[in-house]
Structure 1
Amino acid sequence: MGSLAAETPFIAAAAFEGRRRRRPRFLCLHGFRTSGEIMRTQVMGKWPNSVTSRLDLFFADAPFPAEGKSEVEGIFDPPFYEWFQFNKGYTEYRNFDECLAYIEELMIKHGPFDGLMGFSQGAFLSAALPGLQAKGFGLTRVPPVKNLVIIGGAKFQSPDLAEKAYGAKIKCPSLHFIGDLDFLKPYGEALLDAFVDTTVVRHPKGHTVPRLDEKSLEAVLGYVERIEKDLEETELSDCVEAVEV
């Protein structure tokens, strides 16, 4: 009979196979003056089941009620929210630290999360959070952000905040959606330079959550499969450690 140490990987593998596979869980951050429910409608209504059924998506509302008219008023029902406030040049921000603290509380209460998915203002945040976290400027009480889905995003324009967020290359894998008619397209292109490992999906629409054609669906599914593989390897490793204990 083999030793317990030799049998440990097989015991762990059997235990792992007996568990229900966990879907990658994403915290979803909606656009400016919209809501979590609106982003749910945008994503779940446009992306096929072959993608959404493989992800566990948590759609949160931003902490602050909209301080002005929403661009989606008349299309979607209120209430509308915003993550923080900013000046016309997008170089000064109000309630930004409060926003970071709020997101951290969401991650503690509803996590653990395997990544962040953001659209518009939520995409600005999602893209910046790994860098801010790595330098200790936010999310200090939760594990490092592992994956990102950025839809219609860009860099923050404040030099100070930009240095904190993008001063070092962001290493976590990221999936970027860039629209040909998006007014943020050049800024979304510039954002790619902040990352080491990017997958880019280009679409013909504007500033929106796009539908997926055959080519973009293939790219998205490839990204999801990569996350699933990493999650599977992590959970198998946890099983091995539990058996050894």
Structure 2
Amino acid sequence: MATTAPDQPPRKLKILMLHGYTQSGPLFHLKTKALEKNLHKAFSASPSPGHLPSHPGGCELHYPTAPIRLSATDIPGYDVDGASSADSGEIDSFGWWRRKGDAEPYTYAGIELGLAIVAEVLQKDGPFDGVIGFSQGGALAGMLASLLEPTRRQAFEAAQSAGGIRYLDSFTQDSGFIEEAVHPPLSFAVSYSGFAASTNPLYAAFYEPKIETPMLHFLGSVDTVVEEKRSLRLVEACKNGQGVEGGSSRVVYHPGGHFLPSSQKAYVAALVGFIREVMGKADSGNAEVKEEGVEDMDVPF
């Protein structure tokens, strides 16, 4: 039986939670309280009799806020998804980037700043086992998993000759001998209503070669905010996505729209089962609450 050294705190399952466009860390926390409760129960420091805890320290979720404060003009129908009234001055809505352009290929203004904030959280509060993101945060979860993979920096360097962005300085640190990523590769990533970045060659290196990190995708069958084909592009960008290699076992459809199913048993069970599966492999090597709908938004992300 594994034991914990007296001078070390018990192991926790640490998850980074990335909110969607127009939200904030506190708002996303509020909207995912049921999910947080279920994760604490599933990865409890005090499991049911006869079962040893896989993470004796329990489960710990972190909810950072994106750095780009949005104005009313950034948010079609701007009072949705928690945004406050324009009459109050600044609105409590944030994004990881702003989408620019009228059609593909879009550019993402501020994406370097958004990722720099994530890198700062990784260094300050990590190491993390995995990441869960919703909508724009789901897209960011895929990018983050990609950036931390061992050979991804070389992929960015190779893509620069074709117009790709350079590997982000915020994800690089000098270890004294070589430059390395600011955080170890993640064990898992989860996207709810997420999507792949623009088809702009600027962002190709996030997905070429395919993302190796195990990733689970939740899609709403009647989501009218993020088109299914955009979400499936992220699925196909993962090595074990929807193709021949991995089947469709890492794609879960729920019969709803653009929200995160926090408490429905089948979808919580799928999430918990996925985390247990990937963390088991990592260890061996070493009341219904819904998001407020935004179905009528032409969301600019």
Please list, as runs of the form range in 1=range in 2, the aligned pairs for 1:52-71 lying within 5 A after superposition: 52-53=40-41, 54=43, 55-68=59-72, 70=75
Counterpart CA distance in 2 for 1:86 and 1:48 is 30
Distance 1:20 1:66, change over 3 A: same
1:147 corresponds to which of 169, 179, 188: 188
Give the CA deviation at 1:22. Answer: 2.6
Q: Alignment identity in percent? A: 25
1:182 counterpart residue number: 223
Counterpart CA distance in 2 for 1:73 and 1:201 is 30
TM-score by length of 1: 0.79
2:235 corresponds to which of 192, 201, 217: 192
Give the CA deviation at 1:145. Answer: 2.6
Counterpart CA distance in 1 for 2:26 and 2:4 is 37
CA deviations on 1:213-244 (whole Å, 9 max, x unpaired) are 3432331221122244245446xx5xxxxxxx
Distance 1:17 1:173, change over 3 A: farther
- Please say if residues 187 and 278 of structure 2, whose CA atoms lie closer than 8 Å, have aligned partners that are also in contact: no
**Unpaired segments ≥5 residues, structure 1:** 1-9, 238-245
Amino acid at match of 2:60: D
Distance 1:102 1:14, change over 3 A: closer
CA deviations on 1:149-175 (whole Å, 9 max, x unpaired) are 101111111432342111111111111
TM-score by length of 2: 0.65
Alignment pair present for 1:207 and 2:258: yes
Amino acid at match of 1:174: M
Alignment pair present for 1:89 and 2:130: no
CA deviations on 1:38-87 (whole Å, 9 max, x unpaired) are 11122113x37332443321001001111335467366355211111111
Counterpart CA distance in 2 for 1:145 and 1:165 is 15
1:221 corresponds to which of 272, 279, 286: 272
Counterpart CA distance in 1 for 2:239 and 2:6 is 33
Please list, as runs of the form range in 1=range in 2, the aligned pairs for 1:106-145 lying within 5 A after superposition: 106-134=121-149, 135-136=152-153, 137-138=167-168, 139=171, 140-145=181-186
Distance 1:20 1:226, change over 3 A: farther
- Structure with higher helix content: 1
Alignment pair present for 1:172 and 2:213: yes
Alignment pair present for 1:49 and 2:63: no
2:79 counterpart residue number: 73
Report which stretch shifted further, 76-85 or 31-40.
76-85
CA deviations on 1:8-29 (whole Å, 9 max, x unpaired) are xx8xx34469976533211111
Q: How many matched pairs?
A: 223
2:292 counterpart residue number: none
Distance 1:22 1:162, change over 3 A: same
Distance 1:17 1:216, change over 3 A: farther
Amino acid at match of 1:82: G
Counterpart CA distance in 1 for 2:78 and 2:31 is 12
Distance 1:33 1:22, change over 3 A: same
**Unpaired segments ≥5 residues, structure 2:** 44-58, 85-90, 154-166, 172-180, 242-249, 287-301
Counterpart CA distance in 2 for 1:80 and 1:173 is 30
Give the CA deviation at 1:178. Answer: 0.3
